[in-house]
Structure 1
Amino acid sequence: MQLKLIQFKNTVLLFVLILISCGNLSNAKSEKLVKHSNDKIASSQAIRDTKSIIVGANQTEKYLPLLKGKRVGIVANLTSVIFKNPEQTSYTHLVDSLVALNIDVIKVLSPEHGFRGVADAGELVESGKDNKTGLPIISLYGKNKKASIEAFQDLDIVIFDVQDVGVRFYTYISTLHYIMESCAEANIPLLILDRPNPNGHYVDGPTLKIENKSFLGMHPIPLVHGLTIGEFAQMLNGEKWLENKVQCDITIIPVENYTHDTFYHVPIRPSPNLPNDQAIKLYPSLGLFEGTDINAGRGTEFQFQRYGAPFLDKKIFTFSYTPKENFGAKNPKHKDVLCYGENLENNPLYGEVSLKWLMKAYNHATDKSKVFNTANFTKHAGTAILQQQIEAGLSEKEIKATWQTDLVAFKKIRATYLIYN
């Protein structure tokens, strides 16, 4: 494994200042502007001095030299941005920024939900052209989840910059797997601009059994793995999980001022149906409903903060809502049908996968045969055993006890690849 963790002293974000101040100037002119712009230098230094989290993409001084004179491909979506302030409320897209800085960006490779982030979960994402930059877009979600070797023939380096949420069935880590394979096969280095994992403070859930491998889970890891994209890339190489055990030449720009215990507010929804921190926090637990016939808030403004179905007992579930077509959900489960369930908008769950809602829904369904879609649920759970345990009436404590041996083993492996404390 050729791994280069680039760690330099904190410096002024020269090229971010260039972008903020003047957009599409040449490098030489921009450097001159930064040297004579005391206010902007002070503002940029303040971002560093506050010890706020500095994502990999913001550390332009560390990776722009690696791109000079190179033909660049970028795996990116709506979260691939350079922030302009410590609050991370103002930003420019990484692709737009690099194009403005005259980096030779050749193409964009788009994961699930699309490059600009408007496609539904599971919706076919077509290849095409970006309206803003004119760059060709190659879809990595749909018929070809792994790019062809031909797609890499005109590239010298690939950048991967996508905000993940640390859950096995969130498909960005599967996209990472295929990108690493393609880069290794094409003998092209991969530059990873790391970002925090908002669920990176714990490891929990059932571990995937390899016979249940799918794009919703390709590796024998727990439901919540506790790794950033950069750390996960190291694991893919180190455990030789890529096809034919190939090794990808990766360079990681680590996040500054971050540990796995650091709370991270995700400033841009990482996909259409994860609108806020509460949804991201509950996603590992409520995401299991995706493998059932129970709606998990899609078709509302509270995705993954509620669940319900028309066949849940309304005497038990007094909360109700009706899923409608909306942004990110053109055809949600039980569209236009009144669903009974629970509102978890203010639930304080922290640092664990909870089965209590799934078990309650199953136990109080008026028709239990409608709950599980076995093949799909198994893909989400990573194991057929979890459904069997719930149907057999085991308690949550009893079920979680069966996870522990695998969790202990995984945590030992995980420790080998950690970049952050």
Structure 2
Amino acid sequence: MNSILSGIDILLASPPAWKDSRIGLVTNHAACTANFKPSRQALLEAGFRITRLFSPEHGLDTIGVDGEEMKDGIDPLTGLPVTSLYGSKLAPDQKDLAEVDVILFDIPDIGCRFYTYLWTMTHVMEACAAHEKHLVIADRPNPLSGRLDLAEGPLLDEHNCNSFIGRWSIPIRHSCTLGELALYFKSTGSSQILQTNADSFQLDVIRCHKWQRILFYPQCYHSFVPTSPAIPVFESALLYPGLGLLEATNISEGRGTATPFRVAGAPWMDGTRVASLINELHPNGVVARPINFTPAEGKYAGQKCNGIMLHVTDPAVFRPVGLGWLLIRLIKKLHPAFFTWAPYPTYVNHAGARHLDLLTGLKDAESLVAGLSENDIEDIGSYTNPGDWRNRVAPYLLYQP
């Protein structure tokens, strides 16, 4: 287990020629070395010339409220200036890049299309391509494994559903590392900027050591580092691609509890009945049980919610996106007088409109849920098909099964 190393550990062990160049580091506090030292601290101690930090949603400290604007600041750990890429801008601008020679990206992802760190990487890619800056991705294992047979769609409809939680056409659960996706986006010219500057844009990926695609996070590391306020443990990350769909409804997804994205409920919900219905359908690798919880923030803050808790019994067969569709369908069918769709305002989508479309990547997704038949699991499978993703991404995969 301990022999698996992330790109940052490989970088520290074999310093590159650009170590003394002016380095802009895109990172957050979840980015650690194998011995849990913050990457930025470890790099400075190893003599890397970092001159500026850039941080994504939730801020450098990873504790910012979901969807809330993050401000520039000073890192108390290193004393370095921090430029927010989830505030007045989403990418480094020309002035930022004039002060650096190399951009190093080291942020842990959780393997889901609508988790925003991935899209911060794409904005950084475009900025580096446009301004001819060398970009280095310190790769990390996908905590949900790299098994392409577990990828879940649909592929994003770029024409109708492009947003900061899904810019380009990949599945919801993509089963790739950020380094692999970066190579895919560059080589396929996912945007006009990347197409125009393909020849001059220098992108390097520092591979992980001994990671295999079949491995889930607990098989790689002893302890999960929280990546954001609502992803405190591995099981939250594993359920997130499905329970994240609840953001577009009036069902609590557990924000403001100790178990975000592992519970679902509302004051009006019959948790016992919903749990029973889910278990009768036997979705692979997961069991539901009825519970009550009271969120401290978010939907129904301070109100007792009746709901369910989901327990993943076998990550190797569990399909979270399909479960998310199933859960919404069951609750909507059981509580037609109470269930509603809801906007989800964030800094990058102030009105919060069409949130289910943006999450799923499907135009008019709400109407698709309404049209699901009684044969829930089989019917839902048609909406979670990742299409030809496996073939598309195959040339850019860096790791063996």
For residue 60 of structure 2, what is the aligned residue in structure 1?
115
For residue 238 of structure 2, what is the aligned residue in structure 1?
281
Q: How does 1:81-92 map to 2 (within 5 A)?
A: 81-84=32-35, 91-92=36-37
Which amino acid in structure 2 is aligned with residue 232 of structure 1? L
Contact 2:109–2:178 (CA<8 Å) still a contact in 1? yes
Shift in Å, 1:62: 5.8
Shift in Å, 1:224: 0.7
Q: How does 1:17-416 map to 2 (within 5 A)?
A: 52-60=3-11, 64-84=15-35, 91-199=36-144, 200-201=146-147, 202-210=150-158, 211-244=160-193, 245=195, 246-247=197-198, 248-265=201-218, 267-313=224-270, 316=273, 319-324=291-296, 331-345=297-311, 348=314, 350-352=317-319, 353=321, 354=323, 355-368=325-338, 370-373=340-343, 375-394=354-373, 395-404=376-385, 407-416=386-395
Which amino acid in structure 2 is aligned with residue 341 of structure 1? G
Contact 2:312–2:318 (CA<8 Å) still a contact in 1? no
For residue 286 of structure 2, what is the aligned residue in structure 1?
none
Shift in Å, 1:403: 4.5
Greater shift after overlay, 286-295 or 242-251? 242-251
Shift in Å, 1:333: 1.3
User: In the aligned structure 1, how far is the partner of 2:365 from the partner of 2:7?
Assistant: 37
- CA spacing shift, 1:63–1:271, aligned 2, 3 Å: farther
Secondary structure of the structure 2 residue equivalent to 1:204: coil
Shift in Å, 1:206: 1.7
Work out the percentage of aligned pairs sharing the same amino acid. Answer: 28
For residue 327 of structure 1, what is the aligned residue in structure 2?
none
Contact 2:250–2:339 (CA<8 Å) still a contact in 1? no
- CA spacing shift, 1:365–1:257, aligned 2, 3 Å: same
Aligned residues: 358
- Give ranges in structure 2 of 5+ residues lacking alignment: 275-289, 344-352
Shift in Å, 1:241: 1.0
Shift in Å, 1:413: 0.4
Which amino acid in structure 1 is aligned with residue 226 of structure 2? R
Shift in Å, 1:173: 0.9
Residues 129-186 of structure 1 show CA distances to partners (whole Å, capped at 9, x for unaligned) of 1122111100011231122111110101011011101100000110010000111112
Contact 1:295–1:308 (CA<8 Å) still a contact in 2? yes
Secondary structure of the structure 2 residue equivalent to 1:320: strand
RMSD (Å) for aligned C-alpha atoms: 2.0
Contact 2:356–2:365 (CA<8 Å) still a contact in 1? no
- CA spacing shift, 1:343–1:315, aligned 2, 3 Å: closer
Residues 330-369 of structure 1 show CA distances to partners (whole Å, capped at 9, x for unaligned) of x411111121211114554644222222222222225255
Contact 1:259–1:420 (CA<8 Å) still a contact in 2? yes
Contact 1:309–1:341 (CA<8 Å) still a contact in 2? yes
Larger Rg: 1
Secondary structure of the structure 2 residue equivalent to 1:83: coil
Shift in Å, 1:74: 0.3
